[in-house]
Amino acid sequence: MKHTPTPWTAETHTVQDGKGGYKYVRVYPSDNYSHEVALVTTKIDSQEDKANAEFIVRACNSHDKLIEALKEASDLLWEAPVQYRSDIVHRIKVLEQTLDEVEGG
């Protein structure tokens, strides 16, 4: 199963309930307001909770570009001249391990 396509947007809402109220951050696809990806309930004055929701959106929106950049970096390192390759093989393996983890492998 695939996740909801990015980019996503985070939008803060305030609810007054007679007990001081609460806020939640609604995460949804930027091109489909009616589709909800997630709701993050926050404390009424918590900038940290809002920042966490925005971080989730930023991380998800960056995911595909970061994978592409890691693959390109790995390919470029393999193309290094042979005399330098032994110095970078460990770095290539770390990149490839990171890619496997990020891609769910």
Q: What is the pLDDT of residues 2-29, one digit of tens each?
A: 889 999 998 888 888 877 777 888 999 9
Domain holding 52, by residue range, is 8-102
Within-domain flag for 42: yes
**Per-residue pLDDT tens digits for 45-101:** 677 877 888 888 888 888 888 888 888 887 877 777 777 666 677 777 887 888 787
Within-domain flag for 56: yes
What distance in Å separates the CA atoms of residue 75 and residue 84, rounded to the nearest whole number?
15
Within-domain flag for 83: yes
Within-domain flag for 16: yes
pTM: 0.64
Q: How many domains are there within the chain?
A: 1
